[in-house]
Every structure is written in C-alpha cells, then in structure tokens.
Structure 1
C-alpha cells in the first residue's frame, strides 16, 4: 500500500514538471519572433529619416544656389551696362587708381578729390535751410570743407562780390556740426578774424573781405545767400 502512494506522488510531480515546461515553451516561442522582426522595422525607419534629411539639404542648397546665381547675374549685368554706357548727363574720366572704372561728376559740377561741387553761376539766393534742401534734391548737401587745399579750390571759382552758405551750423552753445555728420575739427577751420562772434547767428557762409581774402563768417540762418553743393563722385 505504501508503494502505491509513492508512485502516485512521483507521477504527480512528473506531470507538474511537464505542465510547467509546456506552459513556458509557448511564451518563449512567441517572444523570439517579435524580437527578430523589430530589427528590419527600425532600420527602415532610420533609412527613411536619412533620405528625408538628404532631400531637405538638397532643396536648401538648390534654393541658395538659385538665389546667389540671380543676384550675381544682376550685378554682372549692371557692371556691363555701366561700362558700355556713359550717360551724357555725366562728365567722366578714367580713374587711374582703379582699373576699368570711370570717375564721374554730373554735368556743370566741378571735380576735386573724391567729390563734385556745384558752384552757382546765377545770383539766386535762399535761406540756409532752403539751400540745404535744394542740394538734397540733387542728391547732395551743402559743401563740407576739411582742408586748405579744398578751400582754395572752391574759392578759386567763386565771385568775390557774393557770399555762399556752407554746410556748417551751430547746434547750440557754439557746438558746430557739419551736415554730413563728419567731426568738426577746430584746427582745420577758416574763420575770419574775430569770427564767430554772435550767438544768434547759427549758420555759416564763406565770403571775401578786401585785403584779407576768403574766410568763414557766422550769419543768421534766415538770411538769403548763394550756396555751394557737394556730392561724392559717381563711379561706373
């Protein structure tokens, strides 16, 4: 009787072990295919992402190239047009300091250094503000003088019996300023003796004094005088 019980127990244990092994084996078999199938999907996703990135880079490069080519073509056309056509309204000479470049001033303007100067030939006069506005309409400004050579060139073309506004004015309390915002250098000024002499006179003209010569004189901005316009040379 004891042997039958022992046999039953052994048999039960064997059956339980076999059941455990059977129950575990399907899970293992299911996990393995899932694990192996995930690799091709990941590689495909990486490949697609890489291709999209390369496509975006190619499109960006193409757009940049087209934009650059258009701008380069426009600049090239402008250069060719400028070299082949010299407008009749300009007086031009070849600039020896720059190859293949024309240095030009508008008709009736006088060249000196890097600038062109419009010296009035009539007796028309206007206030300082109106004179500056007239110069601005021509793409210029009232003359700015920074050297004795420039002053001598300008005064060599002026009438001694006339006075001319220049682009210098007092912003307040003797703070003189040029219209082109260049610094006011007291060591390069050409005031007549005892000038400037009046706080109410905020603008400056250049005039000739007998036995003294040309110089600067402060004057009321509302007074009417002739004027000299100045602009940078045009390069073609």
Structure 2
C-alpha cells in the first residue's frame, strides 16, 4: 500500500512537470508567432493595382495631360500627391518607369517665384537632392517642375509654366497588412 501511494505521487509529479513544459512551449510558440507576424506585417506593403512599388511608396504614372494644379487634384482624388523625390535611388527608379518622349510634373514648385523651391508636402527642396538640367531653373515665372528627358544629357528637372499641360507622377505611402 505504501508502494502504491509512492508510485501515484511520482505520477502526479511527472504529470505536473509535463503540464509546466506544455505551458512553456505554448507560450514560446505564441511569442514566436507574434514576432513572425510583426516582421511579416512590416514586409507586406501593398500598392493599388497598376501602381509601381518602390521602398515605402507607390507610384502612379498618368496617361493624360493636365496643368499642375489639376494634376495635384487628380492625385488627391486617388489618395496621393504629386511625387516628392527624396533620394537619387528614388529618382532612378522613377525615370526607369517613364517614356522618354513625355514630360511629367513633379510635386515641386516655387509658388512665389523667388527661387525657394518646395515640395508639395511643404518640405524645402534639399540642396543634396536636386536633379536639374544644366542652367535650370531659369525663369522666375516658370514656377512648376517636371522631369523630362533631353538628348544627349538624359533625364533631369526643368521648370515650366504651371498652366501648361503635362503628364504627372503621383505618390502614396504603401498600405501595410
């Protein structure tokens, strides 16, 4: 009878240890799952259909010509704004998507005509991130910027009259799942 009690006591100890290990394993699995999901969430950035993905942004290349203000309004209707170029890598990605025979409005303007270029999100145009064609910008009354391909120099920015009609590039932040 004493032996029976001892073996029953050992069985309860083993059962209790097994329950603790099971609880620990379930906890580790849950934490691991949460960690993996948080990493995947940062990786699964989505862009709308027919938009181009780069970095944390999505880009839409317009197929119609409008003046700068209407171009910006069309971008806003799509939940975006005219493109703001922050890096050389972004500029290089964008120009790879473009047709060399078409000029495209950027979200860059000089509203006062005083050489104080600023992006549509109100950030000033950084001295480090400028891709103007040689001798551009040149006229103070040309207060909007576009990216255009000129032979033989290639792609660069040019200032133009805002009322003229060009294609445009819209940008939005990716949606993360």
TM-score by length of 1: 0.57
Structure 2 CA distance for partners of 1:186 and 1:97, relative to 1, 3 Å: farther
Tell me if the contact between 2:146 and 2:160 (Cα under 8 Å) persists in the aligned partners: yes
**Structure with more relative contact order (C-alpha pairs < 8 Å, separation 6 or more):** 2
2:54 alignment counterpart: 112
Matched, 1:234 2:160: no
Q: Secondary structure at the match of 1:186?
A: coil
CA RMSD of aligned residues (A): 1.5
Question: Computing the radius of gyration over CA atoms, which structure comes out larger, 1 or 2?
Answer: 1
Match of 2:134 among 162, 184, 193: 193
2:166 alignment counterpart: 225
| Structure (1/2) with the larger helix percentage | 1
Q: Can you give the 5+ residue segments of structure 2 that lack an aligned partner in the other structure?
A: 1-35
Match of 1:216 among 133, 150, 157: 157
Give the whole-Å Cα distance in 2 for the aligned partners of 1:145 and 1:161.
Answer: 21
Structure 2 CA distance for partners of 1:198 and 1:185, relative to 1, 3 Å: same
Q: Secondary structure at the match of 1:99?
A: helix
1:103 alignment counterpart: 45
How far is 1:125 from its partner?
0.1
Q: Can you give the 5+ residue segments of structure 1 that lack an aligned partner in the other structure?
A: 1-95
Q: Number of aligned residue pairs: give it.
A: 139
Tell me if the contact between 1:146 and 1:189 (Cα under 8 Å) persists in the aligned partners: no
